[in-house]
Structure 1
């Protein structure tokens, strides 16, 4: 699986899993919401292992940029709050940083 697809899937799974906990604690949803949330968080962890990056820490660091951009998409699509220009600028900077981390030329380990 290409790294970009792994990161995007992981972001969706992580945000959905965390949102299930948010909904239970902050939006008074029933406790059963935690079950799909836990499954979603397990899927997130599995998908992150599919990133084609040589070291776990580097994979997690690069994933952070994708997570930030995906969180703003969630904000807009699920919560109905449109990101402002500062959200977009910040997420863009994070995505550039993630691309540098993943694509930088490195000597073999």
Structure 2
């Protein structure tokens, strides 16, 4: 469930931000903002489904998933293939996210 919540949240956040990007940077209609806002609300909701004791840890671990999803968006939606440094960086970020979320805790 955690992985699905993170993946869904990442896609919703990127789609929401891309809607604003489309409006402000690509000079498209301001109507792009409405689905963007809905998507960002879905993003926030999906992060609440992650089974973690603290919100900050949930958000920190999410960062790694976001990086991978953003590179996927770059490739699939924008048509730009990530290079080896993008892939290596994404792998490092996922290792960091896993350590934050699943690392052993004292106490």
TM range (shorter): over 0.9
Q: Which residue of 2 aligns with 1:83?
A: 82
Q: Distance in 1 between matches of 2:99 and 2:4?
A: 17
User: Distance between the aligned counterparts of 2:65 and 2:11, measured in 1?
Assistant: 10
Deviation at 1:107, TM superposition (A): 4.1
Return the TM-score normalized by structure 1. Answer: 0.96
Which consecutive aligned stretches of 4+ in structure 1 deviate over 3 angstroms post-superposition?
A: none
SS at match of 1:91: helix
Say what the alpha-carbon RMSD is for the aligned residues: 0.8
Give 5+ residue unaligned stretches, structure 1.
Answer: none
- TM-score normalised by structure 2 residue count: 0.97
- 1:95 maps to 94
Quote the offset at 1:9 in angstroms. Answer: 0.2
Matched residue count: 107
Task: Report what 2:36 is aligned to.
Answer: 37
**CA deviation vs aligned residue, 1:64-107 (integer Å, no higher than 9, x gap):** 00000000000000000000000000000000000111111224
Stretches of structure 2 lacking an aligned partner (at least 5 in a row): none
